[in-house]
């Protein structure tokens, strides 16, 4: 069984194609996007040399589930899920910022804090916190969306001062971000998990802000186990995470942080299987459903047929 590394289709009405770090995106007649979640995995803005079986299915199906569940909070881009690796949605104009919401001092926020920083994206952080401590309240720490290179931290105030977005758009994004994080927190809590932090991406459709891309997946979010969180934290130990952070930590421990001159360490078959199992574990924990592994035989043809059928049945409707 070979993972889905990449695709190369020519669909009816296709106008252009974009290959992201982990997704292949097809523009159909400037009406909608076919977003295929491949099994590629990225970290530190680099696509890693080995792909992860079932990762694309996990990401796509978690995102699809939460897009459906949060539609009453904020409108989103999703139209249909014609294949386990594929979501089709409205073609929107992406806003040039990611809304990162943090409830705990983890990941990038912890590294800034550990190195002496007490302010992140214009938000003051209290003294005396340890790694993975809960913050007094969820905070928004936006980043710019860079097509090449690392995304950059930016404050909500700077978004307004630099006129990256309109004031009313910034206020709307802040409201949507906190509301979505609250919904994700409640869902995680019901599954005995903690939603630590996450990022949301938004776009414009007919001048209306809509949620785009993925939501509450292990690529965009970090989760802890609720039942063991307090005990682990009291012992000042590392929290076990259901997220991609453990991949980043493994890379750091093996001398890679995406910096010039650093080589990506070898990903053994055992490591790849472990990552795959972690993704499946998160799916089952966060959704409460058993993960049904798709059939990888003829996967390229299966995806092509499913998308062709959708386009044929919906092109004129849309």
pLDDT digits (tens, 9 = 90+) for 251-274: 999 999 999 999 999 999 999 999
Same domain, 220 and 128: yes
Tokens at 190, concatenated: 């019901």
Higher pLDDT, 294 or 152: 294
Same domain, 158 and 185: yes
Domain that holds residue 103: 94-234
Tokens at 154, concatenated: 């930016």
What's the residue count for the chain? 318
The DSSP symbol for 94 reads E
CATH number at residue 208: 3.30.470.20
Distances (CA, A) of 44 to 117, 138, 172, 253, 264: 21, 24, 29, 14, 11
* Res. 148 pLDDT band, cuts 50 70 90: low
CATH number at residue 56: 3.30.200.20
CB distance 141 to 74 below 8 Å: no
pLDDT value at 132 more than 60: yes
Give me the phi and psi of 139, to 5 degrees please: -125, 155
Same domain, 53 and 153: no
Same domain, 173 and 227: yes
Strands of the chain, DSSP E? 14-19, 23-28, 32-37, 42-43, 46-47, 78-83, 86-90, 93-104, 119-120, 123-124, 134-140, 143-144, 193-205, 208-212, 221-225
Same domain, 33 and 151: no
pTM: 0.88
- Predicted confidence at residue 23, as pLDDT, reads 94
Q: Which percentage of the chain shows pLDDT scores above 70?
A: 97
């Amino acid at each position: 069984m070979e993972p889905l590394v990449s695709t190369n289709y020519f669909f009816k009405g296709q106008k252009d194609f974009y290959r992201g770090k982990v997704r292949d995106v097809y523009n159909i007649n400037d009406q909608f996007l076919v977003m295929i979640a491949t099994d590629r995995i990225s970290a530190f803005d680099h696509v890693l040399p080995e792909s992860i079986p079932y990762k694309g299915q996990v990401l796509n199906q978690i995102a699809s589930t939460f897009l459906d569940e949060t539609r009453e909070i904020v409108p989103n881009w999703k139209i249909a899920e014609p294949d386990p690796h594929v979501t089709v949605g409205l073609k929107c104009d992406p806003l040039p910022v990611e809304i990162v919401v943090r409830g705990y001092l983890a990941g990038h926020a912890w590294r800034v804090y550990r190195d002496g920083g007490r302010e992140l994206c214009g938000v003051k952080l209290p003294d005396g916190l340890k790694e993975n401590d809960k913050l007094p309240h969820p905070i928004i720490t936006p980043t710019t969306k860079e097509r090449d290179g690392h995304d950059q931290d930016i404050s909500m105030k700077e978004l307004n001062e630099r006129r990256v977005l309109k004031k009313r758009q910034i206020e709307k994004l802040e409201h949507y971000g906190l509301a979505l994080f609250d919904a994700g927190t409640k869902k995680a809590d019901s599954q005995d998990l903690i939603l630590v932090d996450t990022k949301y991406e938004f776009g414009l459709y007919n001048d209306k802000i809509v949620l785009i891309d993925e939501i509450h997946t292990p690529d965009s979010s970090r989760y802890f186990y609720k039942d063991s969180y307090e005990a682990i934290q009291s012992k000042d130990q590392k929290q076990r995470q259901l997220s991609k952070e453990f991949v980043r930590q493994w890379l750091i421990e093996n001398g890679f942080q995406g910096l010039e001159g650093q080589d990506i360490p070898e990903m053994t078959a055992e490591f790849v299987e472990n990552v795959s199992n972690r993704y499946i574990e998160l799916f089952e924990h966060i959704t409460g459903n058993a993960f049904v592994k798709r059939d990888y035989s003829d996967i390229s043809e299966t995806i092509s047929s499913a998308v062709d059928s959708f386009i044929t049945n919906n092109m004129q409707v849309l």
